[in-house]
């Protein structure tokens, strides 16, 4: 792999079977553990994750020898190490002697010491201590031959909201001042004329604490201005990013090894922000086996975040997942992760927790030191990974041609201002669109909205209220060069500052498409057409009116109060085309997004495949990988006469059964 340093190359070139290990809790078991890991085919351990109190038992007093011994033992056993910064769990001396490190919740309650993530990412004190311990670890272990990568913190933002401390209030005001320059600009951007909210100074702007309007049991703190709330989430993301970036800088000063983080899908850190910090993408996947869609959606956006100039993508890591005793499940899931672009399949946790928390969690070895229920399945996963590895290298993934935007702006925007679930609401909407594509057999990759779409044929942008000027500029240039951009539904109706655009209902799209957005209003089951296909429109959307002859109405509403109105348009621009879908649509009660995209993208969508729900298909060069993720068995429509390289069996074109947790590596006979 070009452009990668040797130490990065080593990390990315290897397929890792990994596990989280806390040897500090079981020092007497280190040798036995390593022997068992070798038996299980484990070749990478994550260590140090919550061990701050071990590394620094008193402030400024370090005890690092035990970790040196661990790394030495790993190296001797041929097991590589990902070393973690322990900043999710401050030692007691830190929270006791520096209580300003503790985060405060929306109610003004300070979190007490205990569990994890109770320290504030805004706190200058906590940031300083976090930088220091990162520096100490980097200095001590950067050169160790066992070390192949670093992990920053743990699942940042997973269990917590923003910090509502006094220090956070000042940081928020400073951040706003940086972003908006002067208070007049902020007032104009936020439209603070409404409800007399105008601010005289940045110091006037409160954290979004309790306020009366729109309080209800699901939103007990009331709703602040959508502009304030949207900036608030941007600020929270920025504080989380800065917290990680400061650790990364401390490590990079001493170590050339790649840096990663075990992301969780709905956290409070923009994907692009995360990618700016890390060298290597990593994610925790804990969805249930029924949740193929969620896992695939998460993996696809993260893989897409690592696209390179040649259109290929860097491998990604499934840092944590739960091993399962169900026969074949762990192997099938490992194959699924590899198919989706992972080079690391990791488990949490090696040994069952003995104390404190999560004692019930899946584990490889019991707290009393025996191979656990999942043991044979982990071994099976290891064997399958070893068999698949060369086959997947021989048949690399096809270049991505269709991408689904992943939008930090959408995560920040609050459909109902003040709801703590905003980012989650977007995640769910995006997931639904991704699933609809998958159900229509259209493979897609994620595209961060901040990134360049070059090399792609089709880009889809549903559920993106905010289309920034910068995004429009980049996308329009790509369309002119031949791209097909399908925008919406639920896109373009807010400015970057979460206000309603006043140059047109869908902002600059109106002029770009040569149309006029007439009005926003809800529909509840209105019959409509898209081209000549019948669909039903539901939910909030926009009625459009083509004005420019080049703007073609491709969707018409057939009944209800908006009968005869247009809800979808398209326009050729340069060598490409933009489509706007202004309402969500269903067919026979089912979401129609995938079918619409298939119809509109037509020849641009690469080889499509069908499979039953729960069965994933990954198209490769001259082959395809088929995995029954869900474990209920199903079928796949095999695109070409093939041989299953795993079983040696010949498989004809057409529908073919897939057994429960079955994995097929189908090499096309023609290829």
Among 370, 469, 480, 669, binds a second copy (CB under 8 A): 370
Distance CA 145, CA 457 (A): 43
Angle between helices 30-40 and 375-394 (to 10 degrees): 50
| Strands in 547-599 per DSSP E | 552-557, 566-573, 576-581, 585-587, 590-591
In the bound state with a second copy, the residue whose beta carbon lies nearer, of 14 and 188, is 188
Considering the complex, what minimum distance in angstroms separates the CB of residue 194 from a second copy? 4
Among 501, 546, 594, 614, binds a second copy (CB under 8 A): 501
Can residue 575 be called a binding residue for a second copy (CB under 8 A)?
Answer: no
Q: Residues 619, 428, 274, 466: is their CA dihedral positive or negative?
A: positive
Encoded one letter per residue, x for contact with a second copy by CB under 8 A and - for no contact, window 322-351 reads ---xxx------------------------
Can residue 266 be called a binding residue for a second copy (CB under 8 A)?
Answer: no
By CB under 8 A, what part of segment 205-244 binds a second copy? 206-215, 222-228
By CB under 8 A, what part of segment 421-450 binds a second copy? none
In the bound state with a second copy, the residue whose beta carbon lies nearer, of 106 and 608, is 106
Considering the complex, what minimum distance in angstroms separates the CB of residue 582 from a second copy? 13
Can residue 162 be called a binding residue for a second copy (CB under 8 A)?
Answer: no
In the bound state with a second copy, the residue whose beta carbon lies nearer, of 353 and 610, is 353
In the bound state with a second copy, the residue whose beta carbon lies nearer, of 11 and 493, is 493
DSSP 574: T
Encoded one letter per residue, x for contact with a second copy by CB under 8 A and - for no contact, window 505-544 reads x----------xxxxxx------------------x--x-
29 contact partners, CB below 8 Å, separation of at least 6: 23, 351, 369
Distance CA 340, CA 43 (A): 20
DSSP per-residue string spanning 468-516: -HHHHHHHHHHHHTT-EEEE-SS-S-B-TTSSPPSSSTTTHHHHHHTEE
DSSP per-residue string spanning 102-163: B-B-TTSPBPPSSSS--B-SS-HHHHHHHHHHHHHHHHHHTT-TTEEEEE-SSSTTSS----
In the bound state with a second copy, the residue whose beta carbon lies nearer, of 116 and 131, is 116
In the bound state with a second copy, the residue whose beta carbon lies nearer, of 299 and 512, is 512
What's the first-to-final CA gap in the chain, in angstroms?
25
By CB under 8 A, what part of segment 53-92 binds a second copy? 53-54, 57, 86, 89-92
Among 11, 21, 22, 593, binds a second copy (CB under 8 A): 22
Q: Residues 153, 158, 164, 168: is their CA dihedral positive or negative?
A: positive
Among 9, 219, 366, 558, binds a second copy (CB under 8 A): 366
Can residue 356 be called a binding residue for a second copy (CB under 8 A)?
Answer: yes
Among 128, 185, 357, 428, binds a second copy (CB under 8 A): 357
In the bound state with a second copy, the residue whose beta carbon lies nearer, of 13 and 32, is 32
Can residue 381 be called a binding residue for a second copy (CB under 8 A)?
Answer: no
Among 78, 99, 114, 166, binds a second copy (CB under 8 A): 114
Q: Which among 36-44, 294-302, 321-329, 405-413 is the span making contact with a second copy, rule CB under 8 A?
A: 321-329
- Structure tokens of 362? 């899946």
DSSP per-residue string spanning 19-80: EE--GGG-GGGHHHHHHHHHHHT--EEEE-TT-HHHH-SBTTB---HHHHHHHHHHHHHT-E
Considering the complex, what minimum distance in angstroms separates the CB of residue 339 from a second copy? 24
Considering the complex, what minimum distance in angstroms separates the CB of residue 504 from a second copy? 5
Q: Where do we find the tokens 């009331």?
A: 222
What residues form DSSP beta bridges with 578? 485, 571
Nearest 5°: the CA angle 265, 410, 201 is 115
Q: Is 195 left (phi over 0), alpha (psi -120 to 50) or beta?
A: left
Considering the complex, what minimum distance in angstroms separates the CB of residue 497 from a second copy? 8
Asked if residue 639 lies in contact with residue 317, where contact means CB atoms within 8 angstroms, the answer is no
Q: Where do we find the tokens 């070393």?
A: 83
In the bound state with a second copy, the residue whose beta carbon lies nearer, of 289 and 446, is 289
Considering the complex, what minimum distance in angstroms separates the CB of residue 249 from a second copy? 23
By CB under 8 A, what part of segment 94-113 binds a second copy? 96, 103, 105, 107-109, 111-113
In the bound state with a second copy, the residue whose beta carbon lies nearer, of 214 and 533, is 214
Encoded one letter per residue, x for contact with a second copy by CB under 8 A and - for no contact, window 118-157 reads x---------------------------------------
Can residue 590 be called a binding residue for a second copy (CB under 8 A)?
Answer: no
Considering the complex, what minimum distance in angstroms separates the CB of residue 367 from a second copy? 4
Q: Tell me how many residues contact a second copy (CB under 8 A).
A: 98
Nearest 5°: the CA angle 8, 13, 17 is 105
Can residue 160 be called a binding residue for a second copy (CB under 8 A)?
Answer: yes
Q: Which of 541, 544, 519, 534 is nearest to 586 (CA)?
A: 534
Distance CA 293, CA 667 (A): 25
Distance CA 513, CA 572 (A): 9
């Amino acid at each position: 792999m070009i452009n990668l340093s040797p130490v990065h190359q080593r990390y990315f070139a290897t397929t890792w079977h990994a596990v989280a290990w806390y040897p500090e809790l079981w020092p007497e078991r280190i040798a036995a553990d390593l022997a068992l890991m070798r038996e299980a085919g484990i070749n990478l351990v994550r260590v140090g994750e919550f061990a701050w109190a071990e590394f620094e038992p008193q402030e400024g007093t370090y005890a690092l020898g035990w970790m040196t011994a661990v790394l030495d033992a790993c190296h001797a056993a041929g097991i590589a190490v990902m070393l973690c910064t322990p900043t999710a769990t401050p030692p007691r001396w830190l929270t006791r002697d520096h209580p300003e490190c503790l985060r405060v919740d929306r109610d003004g309650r300070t979190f007490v010491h205990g569990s994890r993530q109770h320290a504030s990412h805004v706190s200058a004190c906590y940031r300083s201590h976090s930088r220091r311990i990162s520096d100490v670890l980097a200095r001590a272990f950067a050169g160790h031959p066992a070390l192949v990568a670093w992990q920053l913190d743990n699942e940042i933002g997973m269990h917590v909201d923003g910090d509502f401390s006094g220090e956070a209030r000042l940081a928020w005001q400073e951040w706003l001042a940086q972003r908006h320059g002067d208070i007049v600009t902020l007032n104009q951007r936020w439209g603070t004329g409404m409800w007399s909210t105008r601010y005289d100074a940045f110091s006037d702007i409160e954290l979004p604490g309790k306020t009366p309007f729109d309080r209800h049991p699901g939103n007990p703190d009331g709703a602040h201005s959508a502009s304030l709330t949207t900036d608030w989430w941007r600020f929270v993301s920025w504080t989380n990013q800065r917290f990680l970036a400061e650790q990364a800088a401390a490590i990079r000063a001493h170590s050339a090894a790649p840096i990663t983080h075990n992301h969780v899908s709905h956290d409070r850190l923009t994907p692009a922000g995360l990618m700016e910090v890390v060298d290597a993408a990593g994610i925790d996947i804990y969805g249930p086996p029924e949740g193929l869609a969620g896992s695939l959606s998460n993996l696809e956006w993260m893989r897409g975040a690592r696209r390179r100039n040649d259109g290929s993508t860097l491998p990604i890591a499934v840092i944590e997942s739960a091993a399962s005793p169900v026969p074949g499940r762990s192997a099938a899931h490992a194959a699924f992760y590899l198919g989706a672009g992972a080079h690391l399949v990791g488990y949490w946790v090696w040994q069952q927790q003995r104390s404190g928390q999560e004692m019930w969690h899946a584990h490889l070895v019991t707290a009393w030191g025996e191979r656990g229920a999942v043991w044979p399945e982990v071994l099976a996963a290891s064997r399958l990974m070893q068999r698949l590895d060369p086959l997947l290298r021989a048949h690399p993934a096809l270049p991505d041609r269709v991408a689904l935007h992943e939008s930090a702006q959408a995560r920040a925007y609050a459909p109902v201002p003040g709801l703590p679930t905003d980012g989650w609401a977007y995640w769910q909407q995006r997931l639904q669109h991704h699933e609809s594509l998958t159900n229509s057999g259209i493979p897609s990759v994620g595209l961060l909205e901040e990134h360049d779409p070059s090399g792609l044929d089709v880009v889809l942008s549903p559920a993106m209220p905010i289309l920034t000027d910068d995004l429009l500029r980049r996308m329009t240039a790509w369309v002119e060069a031949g791209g097909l951009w399908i925008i919406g539904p639920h896109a373009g109706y807010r400015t970057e500052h979460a206000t309603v655009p006043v140059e047109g209902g869908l902002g600059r799209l109106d002029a770009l498409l040569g149309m006029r957005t007439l009005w926003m209003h809800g529909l509840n089951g209105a019959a409509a057409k898209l081209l000549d296909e019948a669909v039903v429109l539901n939910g909030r959307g926009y009625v459009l009116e083509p004005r420019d002859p080049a703007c073609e109405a491709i969707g018409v509403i057939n009944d209800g109060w908006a009968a005869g109105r247009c809800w979808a348009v398209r326009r050729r621009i340069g060598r490409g085309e933009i489509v706007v879908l202004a309402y969500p649509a269903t067919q026979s009660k089912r979401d129609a997004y995938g079918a619409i995209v298939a119809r509109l993208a037509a020849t641009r969508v690469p080889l499509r495949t069908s499979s039953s729900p729960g069965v994933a298909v990954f198209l490769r060069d001259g082959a395809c990988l088929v995995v029954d993720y869900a474990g209920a068995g199903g079928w796949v429509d095999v695109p070409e006469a093939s041989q299953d390289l795993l079983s040696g069996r010949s498989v004809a074109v057409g529908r073919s059964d897939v057994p429960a947790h079955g994995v097929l590596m189908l090499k096309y006979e023609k290829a």
